[in-house]
Amino acid sequence: MTAAVLITGTSSGIGRATARRLAGHPGLTVYATARRAESMTDLAGAGVRTLALDVTDEKSMRAAVALVEAEHGAVGALVNNAGYGEYGTIEEADLDSVRRQFETNVFGLARMTQLVLPSMRAAGRGRIVNVGSMGGRLVFPAGGYYHASKYAVEALTDALRFETASFGIKVSLIEPGLIRTGFGATAAHTLAGSAAPSGPYAALNAAADEKMARSYRSTLLSAPPEAVAKVIEDAVTAIRPRTRYLVTPAAKVLVHTRRLLGARAFDAYLRRQGWGAE
């Protein structure tokens, strides 16, 4: 059983739900982090340690890891949860915004991993849990850059799992489907700001916006963040955690549908589902 659990991106959604769930485990000290410590005052009241941590700032990341290592010798489990969706078509999306997304979703995750590994190797044990997405295994229109960041997390996790196994470090990937957090609203906002309403992709963007809004409202297609927190709990505490956890029944159906149909047939499936004109 690990002792110190460091979670990134706990100001809301999956990260917050995970911090609350793990806080109830005896023997675990949970460190919840976000850019603004004041956004986590309720977690502090629930017995969770809170730290300011920005996964795009080197000094901030080093300070948080150093504090946990000073108190526990090593980070027992790192949950790389910080991330968001920057939506827009490949042609129209602002690349500076895309770069910022990759700094959080990919390079922040990678750097946090690099920082905790030396002490984990020295201890001969550790857990790294990367929160990816079903969007790392299939792609929806107007989300290519977000999906690219999650495909990158898939690749990094697969390599990391093999590289660190001999040091007693277990690595798991969490692949949530649609989760009812602020993610959908953020994605819709970036999509709306990525192109002019009368642009060449106006119809596609409108269809994507409508589909996202409807899907996130559906209790059949989406799930609350607590569903992901329960899975992360298993990845952190199980003796033999799984390498991958695909979360929500709808996500499992979509991922396997994409695998079985292939690219052209899946494109046709998306069109029939209302994701844009022929």
In sequence order, the 6+-apart residues with CB closer than 8 A to the CB of 105 are: 82, 83, 84, 146, 149, 150, 152, 153
Q: Sort residue 264 into left (φ over 0), alpha (ψ -120 to 50) or beta.
A: alpha
User: pLDDT tens, 234-243?
Assistant: 999 999 999 9
Q: Which pLDDT band, with edges at 50, 70 and 90, does 43 fall under?
A: very high
pLDDT at 37 over 60: yes
- Assigned CATH for 4-272: 3.40.50.720
Q: So what's the pLDDT on residue 182?
A: 74
Greatest C-alpha distance within the chain: 58
Domain boundaries defined on the chain: 4-272
Q: Which pLDDT band, with edges at 50, 70 and 90, does 7 fall under?
A: very high
Average pLDDT over every residue of 107-129:
98
d(CA 128, CA 125): 10
Average pLDDT over every residue of 5-14:
96
H/E/C letters for each residue in the chain?
A: CCCEEEECCCCCHHHHHHHHHHCCCCCCEEEEEECCHHHHHHHHHCCCEEEECCCCCHHHHHHHHHHHHHHHCCCCEEEECCCCCCCCCCCCCCHHHHHHHHHHHHHHHHHHHHHHHHHHHHHCCEEEEEECCHHHCCCCCCCHHHHHHHHHHHHHHHHHHHHHHHHCEEEEEEEECEECCCHHHHHHHHHHCCCCCCCCCHHHHHHHHHHHHHHHHCCCCEECHHHHHHHHHHHHHCCCCCCEEEECHHHHHHHHHHHHHHHHHHHHHHHHCCCCCC
User: pLDDT tens, 153-206?
Assistant: 999 999 999 999 999 999 999 999 999 987 666 666 667 666 667 789 988 888
Q: So what's the pLDDT on residue 248?
A: 96
Beta bridge partners of 6: 31, 78
Q: So what's the pLDDT on residue 206?
A: 87
Catalytic residues: 146
Tokens of 148: 């690219």
Q: So what's the pLDDT on residue 186?
A: 66
**Residue 79: burial class (beta carbons within 10 Å; 0-12, 13-18, 19+):** buried
Q: So what's the pLDDT on residue 225?
A: 96
Q: Which pLDDT band, with edges at 50, 70 and 90, does 1 fall under?
A: very low
pLDDT at 278 over 60: no
Q: Which pLDDT band, with edges at 50, 70 and 90, does 75 fall under?
A: very high
Q: Which pLDDT band, with edges at 50, 70 and 90, does 151 fall under?
A: very high
What does pLDDT average to over the chain? 92
Q: So what's the pLDDT on residue 275?
A: 78
Q: Which pLDDT band, with edges at 50, 70 and 90, does 13 fall under?
A: very high
Average pLDDT over every residue of 224-241:
97
